[in-house]
Amino acid sequence: MDAFKPHLSGLAAYPYRKVDAAIKLDQNESPWDLPEEMKNRALEKMRHSAWNRYPDMHAEGVRELVGRYLDWPADGIVVAPGSNFLVLALAEAARRILDTSPSFAFYEGAARLTGTPYKGVPLGPDFSLPVEGLREEMERGEPGVVFVATPHAPTGTTFPVPDVERIAEKARDRGWVLAIDEAYCQFSGTDLRPLARGNPHVVVLRTFSKAFGLGGVRAGFLLAVPDVAAKLQAMLPPFDVPVHTAAVLETVLEAPGHAERVARQLAVERDRVIAALSRHPTWKPHPSQANFFLVRTPDAETAWKSLLAKGILVRRQDHLPGLKGCLRVSVGTPAENDDFLAAAFAAAGE
pLDDT digits (tens, 9 = 90+) for 170-201: 999 999 999 999 999 999 999 999 999 999 99
Q: Which domains does the chain have, with CATH numbers?
A: 6-30+258-348 (3.90.1150.10), 49-253 (3.40.640.10)
224: Cα within 13 Å, side-chain hemisphere: 24
pLDDT at 33: 97
Spatial distance between the Cα atoms of 152 and 346, rounded to a whole number of angstroms: 30
Spatial distance between the Cα atoms of 22 and 31, rounded to a whole number of angstroms: 12
Tell which phi-psi region holds residue 211, choosing left (phi > 0), alpha (psi between -120 and 50) or beta: alpha
pLDDT at 18: 87
Spatial distance between the Cα atoms of 311 and 313, rounded to a whole number of angstroms: 7
- Long-range contacts at 267-276 (CB < 8 A, ≥ 24 apart): 267/187, 267/188, 267/291, 269/331, 269/332, 269/333, 269/334, 269/337, 270/187, 270/331, 272/337, 273/329, 273/331, 273/337, 273/340, 273/341, 276/341
Residue 233 CA to chain centroid, in angstroms?
A: 20
Spatial distance between the Cα atoms of 270 and 149, rounded to a whole number of angstroms: 19
pLDDT at 317: 98
Q: What is the DSSP string of 175-213?
A: T-EEEEE-TTHHHHT---HHHHTT-TTEEEEEESSSTT-
pLDDT at 350: 59
Q: What is the 3-state secondary structure (H, E, C) of 112-125?
A: HHHCCCEEEEECCH
Is residue 219 within 8 Å of residue 236, measured between CB atoms?
no
Among 218, 216, 262, 235, smallest CA distance to 114 is for 235
pLDDT at 1: 64
Is residue 153 within 8 Å of residue 107, measured between CB atoms?
no
Q: Compute the Cα dihedral for 97, 98, 100, 102 and give only its sign.
A: positive
| Close Cβ partners of 312 (under 8 Å, ≥ 6 residues apart) | 21, 22, 23, 25, 336, 339, 340, 343
Among 53, 64, 103, 16, smallest CA distance to 221 is for 64
Query: Residue-wise pLDDT tens for the chain (350 aa)?
Result: 689 898 888 888 887 888 899 999 999 999 999 999 999 999 999 999 999 999 999 999 999 999 999 999 999 999 999 999 999 999 999 999 999 999 999 999 999 999 999 999 999 999 999 999 999 999 998 999 999 999 999 999 999 999 999 999 999 999 999 999 999 999 999 999 999 999 999 999 999 999 999 999 999 999 999 999 999 999 999 999 999 999 999 999 999 999 999 999 999 999 999 999 999 999 999 999 999 999 999 999 999 999 999 999 999 999 999 999 999 999 999 999 999 999 999 988 75
* Straight-line distance from the first to the last Cα atom of the chain, in angstroms, rounded to the nearest whole number: 51
For helices 131-139 and 161-174, angle between their N-to-C axes, nearest 10 degrees: 0
| Close Cβ partners of 75 (under 8 Å, ≥ 6 residues apart) | 226, 229, 230
